[in-house]
Chain A
Amino acid sequence: MLRIKNLQAKVAGKEILRGIDLSVNVGEVHAIMGPNGSGKSTLAQVLAGRDLYEVTGGEVTYDGQNLLALSPEDRARAGIFMAFQYPVEIPGVSNMYFLRSALNAIRRNRGLEELDAIDFLALAREKMKGLEVEEGLMVRPVNEGFSGGEKKRNEIFQMSILEPRLAILDETDSGLDIDALKIVANGVNALRSPERAIIVVTHYQRLLNYIVPDFVHVLSGGRIVKSGGKELALELEHRGYGWLEDAVAAGQSA
């Protein structure tokens, strides 16, 4: 479904991604871990199409087509969803209006009929239940004045409404208490299916107890320096990243 080959990207003239290789097949859940500043968000943003990040080399295909040639909206319409590490506040635009516009843009693309306000609200209510999102949130401006936890839950709420084929969650678990974490994990697990794939970026092994990954990758210095199964996350939990970085440095000098 997603093939990333030797992807390199720069931001503000600085090289951040230095050759990423990653393949994600339908039905799989991949976790990406790694120290602060290693480029995890950069990768997520590049996949979502943020033009602040300049792709300087490599390629990315999604369902066989060149993903990097698509606009962010076309990627979203093709089923890609990225939950932001820092969701953006949008004053003056209600969550309801925003989400309905988003859903209808996707539905139009799929040749489906648009949902009117009433049908949309019914759908939203149903999705809210499991996520313990309050209905009042729908009339509030997007993310404005939301607590950190509310913002993260709102990302998952959006995801559950938009039903993406490839979801990329950038630290959606950071800063959540255990109850909120379970809610988020339930939302993600509800989406898990043989037709979909999920990439979770996280610092904490804890999340992976609830969203059990098929693969774990360690991103460091703009490269994937180690990949493994879910046990790798536990090992990282105990040993940190230092040993990996040392190993990479040793490998490079050798």
Chain B
Amino acid sequence: MTAVKEQQDAYFSTFQARERFLSDPSWLGEIRRAAMERFAELGFPTTRQEEWRFTNVAPIARVPFELAQAPKDGAPLAKLRELPMADLGCDRLVFVNGRFSPELTRLGDSSQGVKVCNLSEALAAGTPSIEEHLARHARFDDHAFIALNTAFVQDGAYVEIPRGLVLEKPIYLLHVTAANGRPGVTHPRNLVIAGPESQATIIEGYVALDDGAYFTNAVSEVVVGDNAVTHYCRLQNESEQAFHFGALNVRLGRDANATTYSLGLGAALARQEVAVTLDGEGSECQLNGLYVVSGRQHIDNYTTLDHAQPHTASREFYKGVLDEKSSGVFHGRIIVRPGAQKTDAKQSNKNLLLSDDATINTKPQLEIYADDVKCTHGATIGQIDPEAVFYLRSRAIGKDEARRMLTYAFANDIIGRIKYEPLASRLGDAVFARLGIGPGKQEPQ
């Protein structure tokens, strides 16, 4: 406990030392200070708190993470090329160790008409919508990790899609970490504002260039304007020693429609939160999630659907595949505010355990304060069906191949929902890699 306290104090002193060198607008300075104070009060969460019952963040709290240093020149560029996830055939904005990398960024035709840049540049240019939205949707008052991120906001993506614009291809916001043997922390902060009646797909990715230990503490705020359609894919494929906290906070306007994908494959310890506020009448969202873990990985999916207005609908489909000694959590919170009549919410979480040592905790949490609503939820935990394995084997398909087919079919239910094919196919490959079953791998036996 004392080590944890020391680390909290260390964050505070780093904050004070750093603050003097920041040239923030005054509104941002105030937010930072408020967030830092809030973090100091809250401290890192413990398993005594209901929302953190199954996820012990002491390993994060104990390590003296310094702010990540910029990696040595040249190295990332070459290594990034080898990562299949790095190039999705669309415009990308790249950050390395929390810093914007103009060299790796590629903005061409596909983001034409969209304002895409790094957040600090947009801040320096005095973009008014930042003040309007930053820290308004991802609230830090009761959340230590979001508070910490807010206090240390350095850089991230800023995307503003003008009214009515329809984007053909996604924009990829890629966050790369090169640990270089130093346990550094980054606090990426992304802000996406989808104008009314716009239509776009954003992909937010987290990948590693080496297998070192580090901590990513990322927060994204997405504002979906009236009648806009937004697809937001968040892919976490950090190194196996990394810690990852990620919050995706989405606010929906009137008749807005958002589809999110929370994909978790990497990290030793990950917590991926998706919180959607259906803040406009007639708004709808679909939350998709897929987590695939093995070894001793732990992944926690915490989702919140806040139905704040009448006639809003949400659909939630999360699936998990857990192998070896890995563990997972799904926590699906649905809030129906007073007056949010005709809310229609459906939640489903299905888990496939590939080993006897893997564990999953799944829990719905409904808080319903209106009476004319439809809310359903269901969760399953299962193993590979031995009948199905035998059926496949009786048709000459090898045992491992049979298990691979059935596992992939289970995950593909979510992968298949991703409309952008390059992402879907690379995610498929990454799922196979995580489970140590190459897609083309043939069984000798």
Contacts and interface: CB of A to CB of B under 8 A. Distances in A.
B241 to A, nearest CB: 32
Contacts of B401: 101, 105
Interface stretch (B75-83, B150-158, B286-294, B407-415): B407-415
Interface in A72-99: 72-73, 75-77, 81-82, 84, 87-93, 97-99
Contacts of B442: 108
Contacts of A81: 394-395
A109 B445 CA distance: 11
B400 to A, nearest CB: 10
Interface in A85-127: 87-93, 97-99, 101-103, 105-106, 108-109
A76 B396 contact: yes
Contacts of B397: 73, 98, 101-102, 105
A50 interface: yes
A49 interface: yes
A98 B395 contact: yes
A91 B409 contact: yes
A105 B444 CA distance: 11
Interface in B64-78: none
Nearest to A50: B390
Contact of A92 (B391, B392, B413, B445): B413
A188 B401 CA distance: 29
A137 to B, nearest CB: 16
A6 B133 CA distance: 79
Interface residues of B, number: 24
Contacts of A87: 391
Contacts of B406: 90, 92-93
A29 B409 CA distance: 38
Interface string B384-404: 011110111111111101000
A162 B413 contact: no
In which size bucket is the chain A interface? 35 or more
Contacts of B410: 92
B433 interface: no
A49 B388 contact: no
A76 to B, nearest CB: 4
B10 interface: no
A92 B394 CA distance: 19
Contact of B396 (A73, A84, A141): A73
Given A101-B397, A162-B395, A72 B390 contact: yes
B405 interface: yes
A106 B396 contact: yes
B399 A73 contact: yes
Which of B394, B398, B445: most chain A Cβ within 10 A?
B394
A142 to B, nearest CB: 8
Given A76-B394, A102-B395, 16 more contacts: A48-B394, A49-B394, A50-B394, A71-B393, A73-B394, A73-B399, A81-B394, A84-B394, A88-B391, A90-B406, A92-B413, A93-B409, A99-B395, A101-B397, A102-B396, A105-B401
Interface of A: 48-52, 71-73, 75-77, 81-82, 84, 87-93, 97-99, 101-103, 105-106, 108-109, 141-142, 158, 162
24 contacts: A51-B390, A52-B390, A71-B399, A73-B445, A76-B394, A76-B396, A82-B394, A84-B394, A87-B391, A88-B388, A88-B390, A90-B391, A91-B409, A92-B406, A92-B412, A92-B413, A93-B409, A98-B392, A98-B405, A102-B395, A105-B397, A105-B401, A106-B396, A162-B395
